[in-house]
Each structure stands twice: as structure tokens, then as C-alpha cells.
Amino acid sequence: MGIDYEFFNSFCKSALQKDKSIRWAGMVNKNGVILTQKAREGTKLLLTEEENEEYASSAIARQKTRGKFEPKIGKMVYAYGRYEKLHRVTIPINEDYYLLVTLDIEEKNFDSVVMGKVIPLIAENKSRFITMDDSI
């Protein structure tokens, strides 16, 4: 079975709807390729499409380097970066897919947004990611 782009589009849209502070959501494969992305209506994106691709690739590369520490510290639930203009979150779904999310810088309770709203959405749809074969 190939990549279900319709599901990924729907999933990113659902992620955006989980909280008003979520600016952007993107599904990325294990090679750092953005498979689909959605932005909140009216949001001015800070990076170009090419810059976003480069960021996604480097985020996944960083995630892979963290893996060697998992036996001692456990699996990463999410990685968080606070920048002057936004929050960025990398959430591993499984070995093949990651959800990247940006949030408004004004959001102070980013952990409750991620853990209380986005992670449950991933858990609800976990079986949909397992059945896909990523050939990109």
C-alpha cells in the first residue's frame, strides 16, 4: 500500500483544529521529506517552501541522532524549540513518520497543547500510519 495523501492532508487539518495556537502542521517521512502540510487560515508563514523543506530535513536528522540515547533515557515523546517568533515541535509517530508543528509564540502552555491535544490525535490514528509503505 502506498502513501495515503488524502489521510495525511486530513490529519494535518485535524491537527490544526486541535488548538487555535497551532500555526502550521506538516507530515514528514523518515528521510525528512515533507509529504503534506497545512497552515492555519490567515497565517503568514515565516519560511519559504524551500526553507521549510530544509528545516524538516535537519529536524529529522537531529531526531535520528537522539536515538542512540533511547536505551538509557527512553523514547522521545517530542522535541521542542522556542524561537523569537514561534515554537517548533517535532513529534515522532513511528520509525517512518513525524509530525512537525509550529505554534504561536504567545502560547505559554505548549506542553498541554502537544500532550493534551496533538499526541492523543496521533494515538487515535496510529494504526493508519502502520499500514503505509513509504517509497519516497
CATH number at residue 83: 3.30.450.30
As for how many domains the chain has, the answer is: 1
pLDDT at 135 over 60: no
3-class SS of residue 70: helix
In a domain, 136, yes or no: no
In a domain, 28, yes or no: yes
In a domain, 38, yes or no: yes
In a domain, 73, yes or no: yes
Which whole number is the average pLDDT over 46-57? Answer: 92
As a whole-number percent, the residues of the chain with pLDDT over 70 amount to 95
Tell me what pLDDT residue 133 has: 57
Contact 23, 39 (CB under 8 A): yes
In a domain, 23, yes or no: yes
In a domain, 135, yes or no: no
CA 119, 117, 46 angle in degrees (round to 5)?
90
State the greatest distance between any 2 C-alpha atoms of the chain, in Å, as a whole number: 43
Tell me what pLDDT residue 64 has: 81
Retrieve residue 63's grid coordinates: 531526531
Which among 94, 115, 95, 120 has a CA at the least distance from the CA of 103? Answer: 115
Which is it for strands 22-29 and 97-104: parallel, antiparallel or unpaired?
Answer: antiparallel
pLDDT at 136 over 60: no
In a domain, 44, yes or no: yes
DSSP string covering 81-133:
EE-SSEEEEEEE-SSSEEEEEEEETT-S-HHHHIIIIIHHHHHHHHHHHHT--
What span, in angstroms and rounded, lies between the C-alpha atoms of 102 and 82? 10
Q: Which range of residues forms the domain containing residue 63?
A: 5-130
Tell me what pLDDT residue 46 has: 93
